[in-house]
Chain A
Amino acid sequence: MPDDDATPEAEPEAASADGDAEATVASAATTLDPEATELLARLEAQLGDAVIEHGAAYGDVVVRVRPDAWLRTARVCRDDLGCDYLSFVSAIDWMPAPLLVDEGSGDTSTPAQPRETTYGTAGSDGRYQVFAIVESTQGARRRMVLKTDVDEQDLRAESWVSVYPGADWHERETWEMFGIEFDGHPALRHLYLPFEFEGHPLRKDYPLLAREVKPWPGLVDVEPMPGEDAGEEATPAVEAP
C-alpha cells in the first residue's frame, strides 16, 4: 500500500511569504502518530485486501475500502477497534462545480475553484464517495475517517444501520442530498426536504438558485469619465480576495 503522500502539488502563489509554514503544513498533514498507525494496522489485519488506500489528514487516519466491504468495515471498527461512537455518515461529489458565470465578467462573488478534478486524501476512483467518521469514547479515544467509492452509474452503498443505528438519519440525509441508495436501510425517505422535492441539492451540478435571481451588486462599474480617456478600462479589476 503506497503511503500516498498528500503534499499539496499546486504551489499557492499568495502563500509564498511563509515558505517555512509550507514545510510544516506538509509534515503535519502526513505524519501519523504511533496510536493512529497501530489502529490502521489492526484494521488492515482484519480487512486484508479490502483496504485500497490510506492516508493521513492532520492526525486522523483516512482509509478507503472497497464498496462491498463497507458494512464489514463498520462491524470491524465497532467490535474490534472499539470505535463505538458514530460521528456521521455523508458523501462527497468530487466533480468541480460548473462555472455559473462567464469567465471575463469580473464576477468574483464565488471563489474560483480549480477546474480539473482532483481527489482528496486516500484518493477516489469515481465522482461520488461515501465517507464516515467513527470515534471511540473509551480507552485510547481515537478517530478514523472511512471512505468508500460509489459507482457513478449505479449509486448504491451498504447501509450501516444494522451496526450503528445512528446512521439511519445520516443515510437518509445523504440519499436525499446526493441520490445514493443505501441497501438495507429500513426506510429511505426525505428528512430535510419536502417529499415532492426533485433533484439532489448537494451535487455540484445542482445550481444555487438564490444567486441567479438577483444580479450581483459587485458587478456595477464606475462609468468612465466622458471625453478623452473613455478608452481606459473603468475600474482596474482589483484581484478580489
Chain B
Amino acid sequence: MTTGTELPPPGQLPEVHVDPSMLRQLAESQVNVELDTGDMILNLGPQHPATHGTLRLVVRLDGERVIAADPVIGYMHRGYEKLTEFRTYPQITTLINRIDWLSSFANEVPFISGAEMLMGIEAPPRAQYIRTALTELSRIATFLLFLGEMGLQVGAITPAFYGFRDREYVLNLIEGVTGGRFHPNFNRIGGLKDDLPWGWYSECRSTMAKVLASCDEFENLVVGNPIFEQRTRSIGIIPAELGAAYGVSGSNIRASGVDWDLRRDGKPYLPYNELDWKVWTHPDGDSFARYWVRLQETRESARMVLQLLQQMPAGPVMAKVPRIIKVPEGEVWVNTENPLGEMGYYIVSKGATGPFRVKIRSASFSNVSILPWMLRGVYVPDIITILASLYFILGDIDR
C-alpha cells in the first residue's frame, strides 16, 4: 500500500494472476498493519524484589510472554581481580569472603587451600574437620534462606520467615566460633585462627536437630503444596548437556540429573571422603527439581555436620608457618563445591607476599549466563520462578 506512486489509468491495470495463498497472506498483512502490536520492553531491576540484588533483566514481552531477555549485570562490580594484585594473602582473605556473602566461609576455603598447596603446607586434621564443619554450616545457612526465599518468590509469604528464623541459629553457631556472622575471616594459610569455644558441640547438635525439623516443615508447607508444584513443575528446564556447556554447576546441574559433586569427584580439598554422605540428583531439571535437590542437600549437610562432630580429632588448629608468608612461584587451580555451585581460584604466584594474578571463577556468573536461553517463550510470573530457582547472589555474579 505504498502511496505516492502514480497509478496507471483504470482501464490499463496489468493483468495479474493472483494465487489464493497470496490473497490470504495479503489479508493477514492487512490485519497486522492495523493491529500493529509492538512488543513491550520491560525493565526487571536493578531495583526489583525478585533479583536478589542489582541484576537488571531487560525483557521484551509480547503480552505476558517473553520474546527475548537480556540480563544486564555489573551494578555490583567491585573489581576484585584487580584488587587482589595490590594485596597480601591475609588481606585477600577478608576480600574474597565478600563475593558470595551468604556462604562467605565457603569462599575462603578454596583460596586458602590453593595457597597452602603452593607452599606445600598441610593444615592439621582438626583444622580440616572444623573447616568442613563450618563450610557445611554456611551451606545450611544459604540453603535455609533459599528454601524460604523460593516460597516468597512464588507467592507464599510465610516460608521466608521460617527460613530466616532457622538460619539465625546457624549464624549464631558460626559467630560463636569465628566472631563474625557474615564475614568470618577465620581461615589462615596453614589452618585456622582459633579453636572451638567451650560448649559449641552441644549447641551445634541442638541446632542441627532444629535444622532437620525445619526441613520437614518446608517439605510439608512448600514441596507438598500442589499450587507450588503447579507453579514450578516443568518450568525452566535445563537439559544436562546444555547446562554443562554453559558452565551451570552445583544444585542447578544436579537437578538436571548430572551426578557431579566436587566434594566427592573434584580434587580432595577437605576430608569429605571420611564421611558417608549421598549426592542428590533429580531427573527433571525443572524449578521443582532444583528446590527438591537443595532441600535434600540441606538435610545431608546437617547429617554430615553431626558425623563431623562425632569424628573430630584432637590436636592443634594451626600448622607451623613462617611469620612472613612468601608463597613460592607457581600456578594452582582449586575449585570447590560451594553452596551456589563450583567456585574456583586460579592463583598465579611469583614468590611475593601477594599473588600476581587471581582468576576468581564464581558459580552464579555461569548459572545466570543461561538465562537468555531459558527465558524464551516464558510467562512473566515464570521469569520470577526461574530466577528464584537458579538462586544466584549478585556479589557472586559481579565480583
A and B touch in the complex (CB under 8 A): yes
Which residues 189-225 of A sit at the B interface, judged by CB distance below 8 A? 190-194, 201-202, 204, 206, 208, 211
Interface membership of A57, Cβ < 8 A: yes
A10 to B242, CA, bound (A): 44
Which residues 93-125 of A sit at the B interface, judged by CB distance below 8 A? 93, 97, 109-114, 118, 120-121
Given the known interface contacts A14-B324, A111-B354, A201-B82, the answer about A87 and B361 at a Cβ–Cβ threshold of 8 Å is yes
A25 to B118, CA, bound (A): 7
Given the known interface contacts A14-B324, A25-B119, A143-B333, the answer about A191 and B253 at a Cβ–Cβ threshold of 8 Å is no
| The residue from A15, A110, A208 contacting B119, defined by CB atoms under 8 A apart | A15
Interface membership of B136, Cβ < 8 A: no
**Contact between A113 and B350 (Cβ–Cβ < 8 Å)?**
yes
Interface membership of B278, Cβ < 8 A: no
Interface membership of A28, Cβ < 8 A: yes
Q: Which residues of B contact A2 (CB under 8 A)?
A: none
**Contact between B119 and A168 (Cβ–Cβ < 8 Å)?**
no
Interface membership of B219, Cβ < 8 A: no
Interface membership of A159, Cβ < 8 A: no
Interface membership of A241, Cβ < 8 A: yes
A17 to B77, CA, bound (A): 41
**Contact between A201 and B328 (Cβ–Cβ < 8 Å)?**
no
Q: Which residues of B contact A194 (CB under 8 A)?
A: 74
Interface size of B by CB at 8 A reads 62
Number of chain A interface residues as a range? 35 or more
Interface membership of B17, Cβ < 8 A: no
Interface string of B346-371 (1 = CB under 8 A from A): 10101111101101010001100110
**Contact between A59 and B351 (Cβ–Cβ < 8 Å)?**
no
**Contact between A110 and B354 (Cβ–Cβ < 8 Å)?**
yes
A76 to B346, CA, bound (A): 23
Interface string of A152-176 (1 = CB under 8 A from B): 0000000000001110111000000
Interface membership of B161, Cβ < 8 A: no
Chain A nearest Cβ from B273, distance in angstroms: 14
Given contacts A88-B361, A120-B330, A168-B369, 14 further A-B contacts (CB under 8 A): A8-B328, A8-B351, A12-B351, A14-B322, A18-B121, A21-B121, A22-B328, A24-B120, A58-B330, A85-B249, A87-B361, A110-B354, A143-B335, A239-B324
Which 5 residue pairs are nearest across A and B when measured between Cβ atoms? Answer: A111-B354, A25-B120, A166-B246, A192-B74, A166-B247
13 A–B contacts from the bound complex (CB under 8 Å) = A8-B351, A12-B326, A25-B118, A85-B249, A85-B260, A87-B247, A87-B344, A113-B350, A133-B333, A133-B344, A164-B246, A201-B79, A208-B86
